[in-house]
Amino acid sequence: MAARLSDSRAGQSHFVRKRVSMKSRWYFCVLTVATLALPVAAQVGAPASGSAASARPVASSAAPVAGPGNVSPLLAQVQATARNTTADVSLLSIRRWKVANDTKHDAETKAESIQRNLTVALPTIVSQVQASPNDFAANFKLYRNLDVLYDVLASLAESAGAFGSRNEFDPLATDLDRIDQARRALGDRLEALASAKDAEIVRLQGQVKPARAAASAKPKKVIVDEDDKKPAKKTAAKKKPPAAATVTPASQPTNPQ
């Protein structure tokens, strides 16, 4: 099989193999579950034909740096890469690869999972980041999705380089590189967001400490009720009147008969 590959193609395939993680199968399972769990969103676009794929717009070679308040260029880069990757994956002729059926089935499953993620899961997450650009959770979800997507696409690109044609491998290698650039740029953005959050916490803590110190420094005033100092008035006990003597009438003598 190595004899039918050109030197340039073998070099590119070796480059991809070095970047494929040993946990690609585990990442594939996570990608599939995450895709099915997310609600169905609008489709990014229909798979392009061969001529349309060659005339597609070329994304910028490097992902723009996205600071805490500048995420739109990065999201545009991600969306353009998603459209290109969807078209490239749809053009794979996996059934024509001269390889075992199990390997073909595994590649087809990965291709379907990638397309579902690019057309369903990824647009939903991008919309969440667009709605809340500085939400750390939404940005981290996008980073994690790109990370899993990269690993699965790298495994598929490796198979395309080994068993498919060069026209199938080269576009996937380009898409893989752009996803990696977007992933790295998003990682830098997450670091900037975390630093901004930490600085905000420090600032708020600095405002609370003086207020607490001022509250504890104020002397406490004790209010004494003057009525409590006055002794209670003694009330004289009222004497009970003597009980009136009761006179019992004397019994009258009975008349003798």
Domain positions in the chain: 11-207
**How do the pLDDT tens digits run along the chain, 257 residues long?**
444 434 444 444 444 444 444 444 444 444 444 444 444 333 333 334 343 344 454 444 455 544 566 789 999 999 999 999 999 999 999 999 999 999 999 999 999 999 999 999 999 999 999 999 999 999 999 999 999 999 999 999 999 999 999 999 999 999 999 999 999 999 999 999 888 777 778 777 777 777 777 777 666 666 666 665 556 566 655 666 665 555 555 445 555 44
pLDDT at 239: 63
Residue (of 230, 124, 108) closest to 160 by Cα position: 108
**pLDDT, position 40:** 35
The per-residue pLDDT for 221 is: 66
Q: Residue 56's pLDDT is what?
A: 53
pTM of the model: 0.57
Predicted local distance difference test score (pLDDT) of residue 243 = 57
Closest C-alpha to 113, from 142, 85, 81: 85
Contact 160, 172 (CB under 8 A): yes
Burial tier of 94 (Cβ tally within 10 Å: 0-12, 13-18, 19+): buried
